Amino acid sequence: MGLFDTLMSKASPIGMLAGAAGGIMNVIGAIGQKNEAENQMYAIEAQGKKQRGAFDTGYADLLSKAGALKTYQGDISRYTKAEQYAQNNLRTAGSGQVAGEGIMREQARQTTANTLAAAKRGATSSSDLLTAALMGQNQEGAQMQNIDVMAQQTRQSMQQQAQQNYLATLGQTAGAAAQQAGMQFESENAKQQQLLGLEQERFKGGMQLDQSIFNQNMEAAANVQKAKSAIWGGIGNTLGAVGSSLTNYASMTKGYENYLKARGTV
């Protein structure tokens, strides 16, 4: 067999297709890589959704607990009770008898009775008795008047003192209410600042998590696209190799025919 015969035997279509088998195996391998890349992409996507769900649930629970925290509640009940007590004293101050007033009046009446009794014992006529009775009544009237003046002054003093006490309790209640309102505001403001801080952390953390998940998804998608490109590139290379081999084979066949004609074989 000559050199041309040897070349034609090795350039048969079966031999050329066998040479393209390596390219087909590469395509098969690229398809496997593509499938694996897709599986990883779906797994990363599912994991990202799981992470985001856990993040949202965790922060929602944290914000709920922070929102349920109790703030300082002002209490001025003891001041309002003192105010009510002072107000009641103001309404009743000076009413009724002053302490000791009844005893003083009884003593005045007893003095008059004693005076009349003594006058009766020493009187020598009805005129003396009448005079003693008038003197006793005048004396008792004067004493009663003095008692009235003293009682009225005492009542006025009691009313003034009750008024001062009531005004003092009003001032104490107002001061306590302002203090408690300030403390309550500070407590509520601190709580709102805490909630605002948590919201800011949630937003910042959510943005970072979303960016991380996005990057992972993009990387996984890029791997899938890379594997697909490898598949199509392998297919193109294989088809190109086969086409080139067929073209070369046709050319060699034509040359072989010409060779045989030149030898007079055909």
Q: What is the phi/psi pair of residue 71, to 5°?
A: -105, 170
CA 159/CA 91 separation, integer angstroms? 9
More confidently predicted of 148 and 77: 77
Q: How far is CA 165 from CA 87, 110, 168, 169, in A?
A: 9, 38, 5, 6
Q: Record the pTM.
A: 0.51
Number of structural domains found in the chain: 2
> Is residue 177 domain-shared with residue 233, that is, in the same domain?
no
> Is residue 9 domain-shared with residue 26, that is, in the same domain?
yes
> Is residue 121 domain-shared with residue 252, that is, in the same domain?
no
> Is residue 238 domain-shared with residue 109, that is, in the same domain?
no
pLDDT at 235 over 60: no
pLDDT at 219 over 70: yes
> Is residue 132 domain-shared with residue 236, that is, in the same domain?
no
> Is residue 195 domain-shared with residue 86, that is, in the same domain?
yes
> Is residue 90 domain-shared with residue 194, that is, in the same domain?
yes
Rg of the chain over CA atoms, in angstroms? 60
> Is residue 104 domain-shared with residue 229, that is, in the same domain?
no
CA 134/CA 232 separation, integer angstroms? 143
Q: How far is CA 189 from CA 129, 183, 196, 203, 255, in A?
A: 88, 10, 10, 21, 97
pLDDT tens figures, 88-139? 888 877 676 677 777 888 887 888 787 777 767 666 677 766 777 777 777 8
Q: What is the pLDDT of residue 7?
A: 43
> Is residue 50 domain-shared with residue 89, that is, in the same domain?
no
Q: Is there a contact between 39 and 261 (Cβ–Cβ < 8 Å)? A: no
Name 249's Cβ contacts closer than 8 Å, sequence gap at least 6: 11, 12, 13, 16
pLDDT at 178 over 60: yes
> Is residue 77 domain-shared with residue 63, that is, in the same domain?
no
As a whole number, the mean pLDDT across the chain is: 75
> Is residue 133 domain-shared with residue 231, that is, in the same domain?
no
CA 104/CA 89 separation, integer angstroms? 25
Domain end residue (candidates: 215, 231, 247): 215
> Is residue 113 domain-shared with residue 22, that is, in the same domain?
no
Segments forming the whole domain that contains residue 26: 3-67+219-263
pLDDT at 3 over 50: no
Instruction: State the number of CA atoms in the 13 A half-sphere of 186 facing the CB.
Output: 7
pLDDT band at 164 (very low <50, low <70, confident <90, very high): very high
